[in-house]
Structure 1
Amino acid sequence: MTAAARAQEATTPSEALTLDQQVNEIFASATGPFVSLIFAPFPGTEFPWIVMWLVVAATVFTLYFGFVQFRFFGHSIALVKGDYSDPDDAGEVSHFQALATALSGTVGLGNIAGVAVAVGIGGPGATFWMILAGLLGMASKFTECTLGVKYRNEYPDGTVSGGPMYYMQKGFDELGLPGGRILAILFSVFCILGALGGGNMFQANQAHAQISGIVGDFPGWITGLVFAAVVFAVIVGGIKSIAKVTEKVVPFMGIMYVGAALIILIVNYDMIGAAFGQIFAGAFTGLGVAGGFVGALIQGFKRAAFSNEAGVGSAAIAHSAVRTKEPITEGFVSLLEPLIDTVVICTMTALVITISGQLIMDEATGNFLLNEAGTAIATVGDTSGVALTSAAFGSSISWFPYVLAIAVILFAFSTMISWSYYGLKAWTYLFGEGKTTELVFKLIFCVFIVIGAAASLGPVIDFSDAAIFAMAVVNIFALYFLMKLVRIELTSYGARLKAGEIRKYATA
């Protein structure tokens, strides 16, 4: 949500609003150049260079590892089921819990509002490019999460710490390359900023907006305090506590949301073929949307990149806590994330929007508009994105807007607890391991929940979003140097799996 939109929604006295605006202006002037740099488009285009950075890397990894996301897909499912899980391996959580924790950090408002924005601007054809980018992104997750486990720190008490900051330092040292420590510090700083902003304040702010929209206006700090208390109760127990929550919340969220979408698709089964026709036709022609084919491609790639975070490096932190002695196995598990997040959930949203009839094209501008409200689709944070998804589902399920509000709250909560862990591991990398160090960060994180719910700090959110994608700049740069180490792991494991040397365990 832009700073202007936040200002319009503010219900605080004029003095407080003025103070918020002053904070906004000061912060925007200080951080604006950094935000503009990260999200700047290529000259003469509207294509953000950071999106191309992510998509090109995903393509390189897909080709380099021989389409690993398809060759080992069945084995990935077996690993998540626990078929190859040895309970005596080092680590803190199961393959499924690690996957659920990482998914809880990516499945969120982007799947609801973000897809509506992509389809609203790029037309149904944006869905095709979103799916393609999601499939390619599976290889990026595979690469970074394999390295996360390979170079994690394992401590005597059974806890572990891992992620890009560790494989940057250790991997570069192993290859005799300079600069690994510098890259690790940069990544950690960006990760902490992203965790406090996009992974925290933005989520709390949007959750409060949804709640107040149902029960009426009330101070945001009340929502913030409630969220902070619940989040702290979960994260104070560490990754095991977080995983126990996410393994229950994430499947529930996914089943609830995808289930509602399936109901609508089943009821309108005769329109599914036409919807896919619009998606494929729009992918290469644009179906008259602004920007045509290029406009559809840009919006699809952008939504996929912003939704599944493949290449950002955040998921590698969660997956590093898995119980395994084979780093490559968590790479296989992690490649399922973009499939679930982008190819399944985002596509469901796009299909429902396409067949709902809630989208009409303005012949004068070539842009898609909301059918009932008649307002143009704008940016991800704007309520029009959520409004389009809500209207699309509500056209077939009258009570779905209430379910959507619950989903947004759950998405916000699950994202916050996952990003608290990401920020925590970056924090302990910089300031050292220890209960006191961890508690300090967890308290800071919860304070920022209250601030995010109560304040109008648009530029802070913009800056934190930029910090998250700055993580990708550092991370992918390192992955290009380290991917040869992943291929060694892949070749070895693949040969042993084919020879039947990988032990399979009985599952409960």
Structure 2
Amino acid sequence: MGGVIVCGLFGMASKFTECTLGVKYRNENADGTVSGGPMYYLSKAFKEKGHAKTGKILAVGFAIMTIFAAFGAGNMFQGNQANAMIVQTFGLAPGYGWITGIIFAILLAGVIIGGMPSIGSVTSKLVPFMATLYVGMAVIVLVSHYDQIGAAFEQIFIGAFTGAGVAGGFIGALIQGLKRATFSNEAGVGSAAIAHSAVKTKEPITEGFVSLLEPFIDTVVICTMTALVIIISGMNTGALSGVTLTAAAFTETSFIFEYFLALAVVMFAFSTMVSWSYYGLKAWTYLFGEGATTELVYKGIFCLFVIVGTSISFGAVIDFSDAAMFSMSIFNIIGLYYLMPIVKKELNSFVARVNSGEIKRYK
């Protein structure tokens, strides 16, 4: 868990860079819609620097991996974990995940066919409620076991810097932390830049500043609270994994938390599916072109993958999801390192204009 916190802090820098670039190089279409993300800043910015072919290769590679990640991390994984939580909470017989998948697919189709305004409307309502519910439960658990928090933090730091229980010592812990932190906040992966590109602003840097908060809140704060709850509960024995481990940890304090957590997990899974459907769609249209038919084909395939995800094992889903997101990050991070000077220039320009009074300070 210590590795997750460290990588979450470093992730703030990569999120700032990619979201700034996403807004700067986005396409504003004639119908008012926006298409942005690494596909666009890799191709456009590299072309500006005289490396059009390299930029195009990186952009196409990223787009392909984004589609795979949308089907995996943003779709099958979410459905898989939501189904696992429903089965555990209500004591249902395993093997009927396809029913959960069909229900999710129908609900998802109703949202994503509406396009970005519908997607934004759904996620803006679900995410705050879900986060408040989850954090509230975690706070109750931690307050009721306040005397164990110090020892729990000690275990986190021992695990981070000695590699206790993680093969490979510090490097092994860091790799595990990187995998889970990346899965949590998507910093460096490039998916956030696709979403932030749709914002209504003329200053790319301001969106970079907004995005800084995401890895901190998501990974450093919420994931740390989750780790403390699990450690305090004593459930971190290796017998459980994924959402079932988290559920068991919360239930140690109160049985009612299992039902609240089930609600939070289902909402989180659905909102994540909705968001990732948009990321995958933008990668799909980058490769195959804009158009109603093209989009409908993608959305249909995306909904079908929900059923697949709820019907197969957790191990297969997480391995596929990790591989797809890792591949995305390779293409994206190569671009981020090369394009950092552009972001620095953009930041210096913004600060100079604020200091000169050309841009009013926020009060």
Q: Same fold (TM over 0.5)?
A: yes
For 1:363-407, what per-residue CA distance to the aligned partner results, in whole angstroms no more than 9, with x for missing partners?
xxxxxx2xxxxxx35xxxxx5343432232222222112222222
Q: Structure 1 counterpart of 2:71, which letter?
A: L
Change (3 A) 1:206 1:272: closer
Question: CA shift at 1:253, angstroms?
Answer: 1.2
Q: Write the mapping of 1:47-446 to structure 2, written as runs, cut at 5 A.
A: 127-177=1-51, 178-213=53-88, 214=90, 216-217=92-93, 219-286=96-163, 292-359=169-236, 369=237, 376-377=238-239, 383-446=240-303
Change (3 A) 1:194 1:296: closer
For 1:34-70, what per-residue CA distance to the aligned partner results, in whole angstroms no more than 9, with x for missing partners?
xxxxxxxxxxxxxxxxxxxxxxxxxxxxxxxxxxxxx
Q: Structure 1 counterpart of 2:190, which letter?
A: G
Change (3 A) 1:392 1:458: closer
Question: CA shift at 1:442, angstroms?
Answer: 1.1
Equivalence for 1:36: none
**1:158 partner SS:** coil
Aligned residue pairs, count: 360
Q: Give unmatched runs, 5+ long, in structure 2.
A: none
Question: CA shift at 1:242, angstroms?
Answer: 0.8
Change (3 A) 1:252 1:436: same
TM-score of the pair, normalised by structure 2: 0.91
Question: CA shift at 1:169, angstroms?
Answer: 0.8
**2:84–2:244: 8 Å Cα contact kept in structure 1?**
no
Equivalence for 1:85: none
For 1:136-172, what per-residue CA distance to the aligned partner results, in whole angstroms no more than 9, with x for missing partners?
1000011111111111100122110001000111111
* Stretch of structure 1 that moved more, 445-454 or 271-280: 271-280
Question: CA shift at 1:228, angstroms?
Answer: 1.1
Equivalence for 1:122: none
**2:71–2:305: 8 Å Cα contact kept in structure 1?**
yes
Question: CA shift at 1:287, angstroms?
Answer: 5.6
Q: Structure 1 counterpart of 2:45, which letter?
A: G
Change (3 A) 1:448 1:392: closer
Change (3 A) 1:234 1:503: farther
**1:204 partner SS:** helix
The whole-number CA distance in structure 1 between the counterparts of 2:159 and 2:14 is 27
Structure with the bigger percentage of helix: 2
* RMSD (CA atoms): 2.3
The whole-number CA distance in structure 2 between the counterparts of 1:225 and 1:288 is 39
Equivalence for 1:498: 355
The whole-number CA distance in structure 1 between the counterparts of 2:203 and 2:264 is 35
Equivalence for 1:9: none
**2:249 partner SS:** helix
Higher relative contact order (CA 8 A, sep 6+): 2
TM-score of the pair, normalised by structure 1: 0.66
Change (3 A) 1:465 1:295: closer
Change (3 A) 1:129 1:289: closer
The whole-number CA distance in structure 1 between the counterparts of 2:294 and 2:221 is 39
Question: CA shift at 1:326, angstroms?
Answer: 0.6
Q: Structure 2 counterpart of 1:335, which letter?
A: L
